[in-house]
Amino acid sequence: MEYETIIGLEIHAELSTESKMFCGCSASFGGGPNTKTCPVCLGHPGSLPVTNMKAIEYTMMLALALNCEITPRSVFHRKNYFYPDMPKNFQISQYDIPLSTDGHLDADMNDYVRKVGITRVHIEEDTGKSIHIGESGRIHGAEYSLEDFNRAGIPLAEIVTEPDIRSAEEARAFMQLLRATLEYLGISDCKMEEGSLRCDANISVAVDGKLGTKVEIKNMNSFRSLFRALSYEEERQRFALEQGGGLIQETRHWDDAEGKTHPLRSKEEAFDYRYFPEPDLVPIEPDPEWVDRLRENLPELPQARFHRFMEQFGLARDIASMLTGEKALADYFERAVETGQGPEELAKWIAGDLSAMLREAVVPIQHCPVAPRGLGELVALVNQKVISGKMAKEVLREAFETGKGPQRIVDEKGLSQIADAHELEVVVDEVIAENPGAADDMRTGKEQALKFMMGQVMKKTRGKANPEVASRLLKQKLIGRE
């Protein structure tokens, strides 16, 4: 029997507009409960929604970035269901005529590309937040809940994919690319932990090409939990199928602490949303010129930049992918390249030591204490043989910790290499005099001896000797050639 995992994603991204979707309250994160509310977003009797043009524009930008068609005339619908975090007990959303449809986003999987179809990108409003009060702070077992409507009405772009994803790895790669796309467009904060980017998944396992039972997974709050939840669920479903057991179509909740999915049973849910056209709003018919202007003004997107980094700078696939996965990181790299140093070397420093330090210190690249110019300076010092590669690592750490420029650190600590042949010659002569045995070995062509002699030179200069110059001098003096 051949198993194939089939995954489709439904993603909600909060848009970073100033004001909410249908009222003038702030769409920013946080604040005391109900400090960012008004009659509209509290669903007060008589209040009416008015659409935020920026939210429409942002959603269209996203749709265009995902290669979607913009619908010439789309409408809002009401999705009716009761829930305490919903001020009106309906959500203004889109249904059979969404803002855009039929796109795709291609995730690079290193040795292959996964083309994921985008069914639709539409716009809707976010709900408020329930805070569960009771022993665990979780919804189960809470004594009561407190409702805060600050989040209610923040614009959400909903992205629905085709079931084109075949593994948890692909799902994660797709989400990372989508996150980067949102970030490049500058239309969302994309913080999965704060809930500004949320992802639900439909997953099933097909057996010998026959479609399986679809299970919906909710509550995956990071890329890691998306990957873990889907891996777990894939295993669970395969195991059930192997055992000959059946699967039921259901919604399951990912418990990150436990590392398992659980059925989400709730007696309140009656799945009949009674969608109908929102009578308080009028259709959206984007002017083709507006759409063209947005299309023309789209920034360079992650995939394009990824390919450009490989072509223009000769970067390896994995480094290019890593650098372009985060806009700020790619920007940092390009600013460093402006210093005139080698792109490959710079990329290696950024992807290697610098990223490690940022991770360790939990500092985003935007606040990196070493400026792109500083990194260029560091690479220049290595290239000009002022410091060795090994010394450069220490200089970078020092620069990261103190914020001082690499040149300044080298100057202050007197770290510059001894590359002056005359100066080094004195040391080399001393070493030859002090180690006649090893000198003889070198003369007779023993490779090992050179390393030893070099070690002695480094010891005398406390590591500051330029290795190339020292090695040349030793060879000249003992074997008569370089």
The residues of the shown chain that bind Mg ion, judged by CB under 5 A, are 158
Give the span between the Cα atoms of 283 and 94, in whole angstroms.
11
**Whose Cβ is closer to another protein: residue 78's or residue 198's?**
78
Place of tokens 């990957």: 227
Token duo for residue 462: 């406390």
Q: Which of residues 38-57 bind Zn ion (CB under 5 A)?
A: 38, 40-41
**Whose Cβ is closer to Mg ion: residue 120's or residue 228's?**
120
Pick the closest to residue 100 from 56, 134, 144, 133 (CA basis): 56
User: How many other CB atoms are there within 10 angstroms of residue 242's CB atom?
Assistant: 11
Piece of 44-52, 186-194, 245-253, 254-262 that binds another protein (CB under 8 A): 44-52
Give the span between the Cα atoms of 102 and 118, in whole angstroms.
6
Q: In the complex, what is the shortest distance from the CB of residue 36 to another protein, in angstroms, rounded to a whole number?
A: 5
87 sits near another protein (criterion: CB under 8 A)? yes
**Whose Cβ is closer to Mg ion: residue 158's or residue 234's?**
158
- The region, left, alpha or beta by phi > 0 then psi within -120 to 50, assigned to residue 218 is beta
Options 5, 17, 100, 181; binder of another protein; rule CB under 8 A? 17
Beta strand pairing status for 100-108 and 69-70? antiparallel
User: How many other CB atoms are there within 10 angstroms of residue 450's CB atom?
Assistant: 18
Q: In the complex, what is the shortest distance from the CB of residue 22 to Zn ion, in angstroms, rounded to a whole number?
A: 8
H helices present in 338-383, as ranges: 343-349, 355-361, 372-383
52 sits near another protein (criterion: CB under 8 A)? yes
42 sits near another protein (criterion: CB under 8 A)? yes
Closest residue by beta carbon to Mg ion: 158
Q: Which of residues 54-93 bind Zn ion (CB under 5 A)?
A: none
- Contact (CB, 8 A) for 168 and 230: yes
Q: Which of residues 115-174 bind another protein (CB under 8 A)?
A: 130-132, 134, 139-140, 142-149
Residue 175 backbone phi and psi in degrees, to 5: -65, -40
* Cβ contacts of 444 within 8 Å, gap of 6 or more: none
Piece of 164-172, 263-271, 354-362, 440-448 that binds another protein (CB under 8 A): 263-271
73 sits near another protein (criterion: CB under 8 A)? yes
152 sits near Zn ion (criterion: CB under 5 A)? no
Query: Is residue 181 classed exposed, middle or buried when 0-12, 13-18 and 19+ CB atoms within 10 A define those classes?
Result: buried
283 sits near another protein (criterion: CB under 8 A)? yes
Task: Compute the CA torsion angle 473, 475, 479, 482 (nearest 10 deg).
Answer: -100
Pick the closest to residue 343 from 357, 354, 332, 356 (CA basis): 332
**Whose Cβ is closer to Mg ion: residue 158's or residue 164's?**
158
Residue 286 contacts which entry, Mg ion, another protein, Zn ion, none (Cβ below 5-8 A, type-dependent):
another protein
Q: How many chain residues touch another protein (CB under 8 A)?
A: 72
Q: Which of residues 20-39 bind Zn ion (CB under 5 A)?
A: 23, 25, 38
Residue 47 contacts which entry, Mg ion, Zn ion, another protein, none (Cβ below 5-8 A, type-dependent):
another protein
464 sits near another protein (criterion: CB under 8 A)? no
Site residues for Zn ion per CB under 5 A: 23, 25, 38, 40-41
